[in-house]
Amino acid sequence: MPALFLPCASGAEALLADEVLRITGHAAETTRGGVWVDGDERTAMALNLESRLAQRVLWPLVQGRYRDEHDLYDLGRRVDWTQWITPQQTLRVDVNAVRSPLRSLNFAALRIKDAVCDTLRDATGERPSVDTHRPDLPIALFVGPEEATLYVDTSGEALFKRGWREHKGEAPLKETLAAAMLAAAGWQGRAEDGPLLDPCCGAGTIAIEAAQMACGIAPGSQRRFAFERLLPFRAHLPAWRALQQAAQARVHAPAVPVFAGDVSFRMTDFAQRNAELAGVGRAIEFKTVDALQRLPPAPRGTLMLNPPYGERIAAKGQGSDAARQGFEGGGSSAEFFGGLAAHWKRHYAGWTGWMLSPDMKLPSLMRLKESRRVPMWNGPIECRLFRFDMVAGSNKDAAAS
């Protein structure tokens, strides 16, 4: 049984290990940038369907030391590629490197492609072709300072692509990061978790991810995966259909309400359309309202937001000059966060606020003391997920501020 590798965003490794244990029943071993878990074809299929935090599910093939591209070719020739695809199918090779001595990663990818094609040509007299968009066999090559590893990417497209988003909008939060934020907060969409509110929802990613959890919708239920076209999985496709049917049977009415909105009518409408495409249009209550004015929809719950900038940070009626200042050090961001903290103190006693930000001084900007700060990475940007507990009586502090 191979050890599958599931890469994830830095900072989410322990959260992913917990999720893998819930999905498979197998303990996962954490490493920098992901987790390892023992599993077979069914395990790989279940993880693709159910994981909200993994970026991909990679099936390891071969590992070895290398010095140059010729060694990589030899490494690729050690794999019997006829067990994975036919000459009529297609492939693509993606390369990731950490402190590699190679001068050209494109040439490294070319040599692995040559190894695959030569193996199939020697065995069948024919060779597969390359498809850079939707290959039947996506191959991942990881090269370090001295060792290289080849994987089959059983996912195909990255798992944050849930299959429902048609339009990305402006710098949308990836679904996997939204899921990591919810996991770090311990919010799982159960009735005991209480309502969730994102008052600055943008494209709606956090609210949609939360609503799917509240409805029991598997994150991969609306998309296709590369393993469906690979030879080793063909005998397991009936089991795959059974997994899909079981996931569909688990869908239910939301166990807990989810609320969202934005100061921008355009973004609220955009988020509503995204929610409908994701199958949770009726599970989220959207309102176009300034976060500095929105009152709590329930006596207690969880606030979860990725702070806005630009036009979405300016309250309705403010000019574009204030909106453009964003996080550039102008008064707009300071006034927004200070006002948001005062509003939370005054109206959200009993709620827990979570906010993702690259600004390590955000608590002082909000004049709030965080109870937790969880390191997370939004792509290449190092961030912190701050937790603020709104306790009864803190409205006195708001009045003083």
Q: What is the CATH number of the domain that holds 123?
A: 3.30.2130.30
Q: Which long-range contacts (CB under 8 A, 24 or more apart) does 177-180 make?
A: 177/9, 177/356, 177/376, 177/378, 178/205, 178/206, 178/208, 178/209, 178/210, 178/306, 179/52, 179/53, 179/209, 179/219, 180/8, 180/9, 180/11, 180/12, 180/15, 180/53, 180/376
Question: What is the structure's pLDDT at 171?
Answer: 61
Residue 85 is part of which domain span? 3-153
Residue 382 and residue 334 share a domain = yes
Q: List the beta bridge partners of residue 31.
A: 34
- 136 and 202 in a single domain? The answer is no
| Residue 328: per-residue pLDDT | 35
Residue 85 lies in a domain: yes
The domain total for the chain is 2
- Residue 101 carries which DSSP code? -
pLDDT value, residue 401:
42
pLDDT for 330 equals 38
Low-confidence ranges of the chain (pLDDT < 50): 310-331, 394-401
Examine residue 375 and state whether it is found in any structural domain, yes or no: yes
Looking at the fold, whether 199 and 143 belong to one and the same domain comes out as no
Same-domain status, 57 and 116: yes
Does 23 lie in the same domain as 121?
A: yes
Say yes or no: 148 and 183 in one domain. no
Distance of CA 350 to the CA centre of its chain: 29
Q: Using one digit for the tens of pLDDT, what is the confidence trace for 271-310?
A: 999 999 999 999 999 999 999 999 999 999 999 999 865 4
Q: Looking at residue 332, what is its pLDDT?
A: 57
pTM of the model: 0.90
